[in-house]
Structure 1
Amino acid sequence: MIAMQELVQRTIDQLVESGAELGVQVAVYRHGELVADAVAGAADPEGGRPVTPDVPFFSASTGKGVTATVVHVLAERGALDYDTPIAELWPEFGAHGKGGATIRHALTHSLGVPAVPSGLTVKDLADWDGMCALIAGTEPWWEPGTRTGYHAVTWGFVMGEIVRRAVGKPISQVLEEEVAAPLGIADELYFGVPEAELGRLARLEDAPGSAGMLAAMPADLPLFKATPPAVTPSAAYGNDPLVLTSDIPSGGTMSARAVARMYAALLGEVDGVRLISPERLREITALATADVDQMVGFPAPRALGYNLGRPGADPQQTPSVFGVPGMGGSAAYADTATGFSYAVTKNRFFPGPSAAVDRIAALVAEAAEN
């Protein structure tokens, strides 16, 4: 698979040379083997520090796929069950008619608690207990399980508190112990990044046109009502030490090769490590919901904690592909039909579609056909 390495490297070199990107990582696994591990450009827009494969990038909601994986690993060993009412683990969450909401509802963004107060700050996000109390006390926008809507900020706290109540540990610790350490990627896949590691991270910068992209979106979009500007991902948000060092598992910090390796270990064995059984893989990647997302206004096919469909393609035509993109342009996916997993991390933050992700996804799809 030397050709894959060459194709990926050529693609990201072109993106950097054209000025479209600053620094990029791409990793591709097939059937548990690393077949491309490519980097290009600068990890730091000011100092010019080059990107290397081990540099972690703040990758926004790409971290949601990592959070979902932690939950599935715990389910695999019997620590929780998808159909358990959340209030059985976390009694306070049952307030305002949420007593019947299950872990499955949480995984599929159908809890009905997608919003945070308009004045919420990053300091508030860093207060785990405060955020969990806030969400538990929220009156749902719809009856849990009856609709779906992207829970941009609240999702990670709900899933993380489910994990904490189930096993008595913060989700960052469970990620390290149950996923990252067994796969040998504990220093490249994080929720809360240790303060001593901050100097290793890539630095983000806003891409030209970012502000215009956001301004062009409908002002009355429910997603904007649910997610105030102070806690909406941006370059400044992704460079904030308080964000990076806190457990905010709606996002995450990772290298491309680390998160691609994690997805590879969902599909099958990677150097003797398999995270879940084939039976559970089928369960968690099956279509779970496909109704109109109440936050963005269009259908969003989802499995249990992952989006379904290849980036840049019709999701209905690529249902075997699962993963999560991040606002800003990073993404990680796997394909149960082909055995490929891949990830793109980058530091030029643009809130719209990611040309880098679409191009890599197309390259992988083409390789799978040959």
Structure 2
Amino acid sequence: MSQALSESQVSREDEPQAVHGTADLRFQPLVRAFGKVFADLRPGGGALAVWLRGEPVVDVWAGTTDAAGAEQWERNSAPVVFSASKGLSSIVAHRLADRGLVDYEAPVAEYWPEFAANGKAAVRVRDVLNHTAGLSQLPGVANNANELLDHRLMEERLAAAPLDRFAGRPAYHALTLGWLLSGLARAVTGKDMRELYQAELAAPLGIDGVHLGRPASDSSTRLAPLVDPYARFSRLCSDQMLDALARRRATRPLAESVYAGSGSARILNEIHLAGVDAQMPAANAVATARALATIYAAIAGDGSVGGARLLSPAAVARFPRKRSFRFDRVLGVPMMWHMGFHSAPLPGLVKGFGHVGAGGCFGWADPARGLSVALVHNRLPSTFVRDLGVFTWVVPLALRAVRRAGSFPG
């Protein structure tokens, strides 16, 4: 497929509501499906990128980047990808482990001595990556939204916090995973996670398009602000709503994983306002689909892509595992967490691993097929229900294209 990305120019640049970019002709059904969602008249837009066997086969974008629907999405437009950030932050940790700076089986406190406080001396690096560290809940760690935007304070609070009631069992660390990884990384490198995104993700692959929070002014990446054209999301994330969820036994763990007292319920709104300038390694990475797919293309192969190495073959060989779904105490559904990634949310849907974020942004690797897929967009989740399920149709459509192309049997 060496000629793949030059085969088909998707549309002319003078077509404002079209899909732009390039794609292998055999992936046109996937591109058309993408266009049905993002090349419409609603404000907001997105981008889709696919790599196969170390080669780019899809790089397309559509829609707009502003609430008025006037500014066209461009090749370097990049939104906040919410929890897809967790996969990126985990890869930073894997880079450190690959160099021997971190051992997955070692206690976190071996590198971050303050973390041993309140009975956490035995919590391993692997426990953090697998969401079993027992620090999924925010009450007692953060009191308001301003504290959540102070990453150094959150690292210190988590280091001093006691284990919660889910220690040793899978419990989605919705926001805390990022600060735990950044505290660990700071302990062994002396650097912020924002610096490490550039040093450990962008630089090894020679790419721009991946940042923790707002891209630097000299970056070619252009932040695509999140839009909420129907003004539903703020109501959905009201303090009253999360207060109600916190009062119900079944939903309390989920509410408490993102809720930290008065004023913090609208944390996803905060991320695209003041929050985009903060460091929330579990939630506010900014990425183009092209950069995200490139990173996962390395993981879908031997750790390298385009002649640049991200991880050693031995490191990426640790990521796949036999499927083992366990009930997650926060999400209330069976999940398979492993090394900072998860499997398909629906068992049997697709193989591989990666991380999906709120609204459907995701990066995904399927090593068996040498396939990576990434989708990003800037529409808040309440703007369209169907996009919450984008993963469930984008990746299967990509797999069908691979089979049609004869690049992988079955």
TM-score by length of 1: 0.89
Structure 1 residues 334-343 or 222-231, which shifts more?
222-231
Match of 2:271 among 226, 233, 238: 238
- Residue segments in structure 1 that go unaligned for 5+ positions in a row: none
1:273 aligns with 308
Structure 1 residues 95-104 or 324-333, which shifts more?
324-333
2:296 aligns with 263
Match of 1:326 among 349, 353, 357: 357
Structure 1 residues 55-64 or 328-337, which shifts more?
328-337
One-letter amino acid of the counterpart of residue 248, structure 1: M
Specify the structure having the higher radius of gyration (Cα): 2
Q: How far apart, in 2, do the equivalents of 1:244 and 1:231 lie?
A: 16
Over the aligned positions, Cα root-mean-square deviation in angstroms equals 2.6
CA contact (8 A) 1:204 1:238 kept: no
1:357 aligns with 391
Pick closer, same or farther for the CA change 1:117–1:183 going to 2, 3 Å: same
**Match status 1:36 vs 2:58:** yes
Structure 1 residues 123-132 or 11-20, which shifts more?
11-20
Q: Secondary structure in 1 aligned to 2:394?
A: helix
**Match status 1:283 vs 2:318:** yes
Structure 1 residues 50-59 or 273-282, which shifts more?
273-282
Q: CA deviation at 1:194?
A: 4.3
Q: CA deviation at 1:168?
A: 1.7
Q: Deviations over 1:250-283 (max 9, x none)?
A: 1211111111101111223311112222332121
CA contact (8 A) 1:233 1:327 kept: no
1:23 aligns with 45
CA contact (8 A) 1:287 1:302 kept: no
Q: Secondary structure in 2 aligned to 1:237?
A: helix
Q: How far apart, in 2, do the equivalents of 1:245 and 1:349 lie?
A: 18
2:225 aligns with 203
One-letter amino acid of the counterpart of residue 135, structure 2: V
Q: Deviations over 1:214-272 (max 9, x none)?
A: 769955211102211726553x32321x3112221012111111111011112233111
Match of 1:302 among 323, 326, 337: 337
**Match status 1:193 vs 2:214:** yes
2:152 aligns with 129
Q: Deviations over 1:15-52 (max 9, x none)?
A: 13555773010011111211000101101122611111
2:25 aligns with 3
Q: How far apart, in 2, do the equivalents of 1:60 and 1:343 lie?
A: 13
2:205 aligns with 183
Pick closer, same or farther for the CA change 1:239–1:143 going to 2, 3 Å: closer
Pick closer, same or farther for the CA change 1:197–1:289 going to 2, 3 Å: farther
1:336 aligns with 367
**Match status 1:250 vs 2:288:** no
Q: Deviations over 1:81-111 (max 9, x none)?
A: 1011011111121122111000000000001
CA contact (8 A) 1:8 1:26 kept: no
Q: CA deviation at 1:204?
A: 1.1
Pick closer, same or farther for the CA change 1:4–1:116 going to 2, 3 Å: farther
- Residue segments in structure 2 that go unaligned for 5+ positions in a row: 5-23, 405-410
Q: Secondary structure in 2 aligned to 1:354?
A: helix
Aligned length: 362
Structure 1 residues 294-303 or 57-66, which shifts more?
294-303
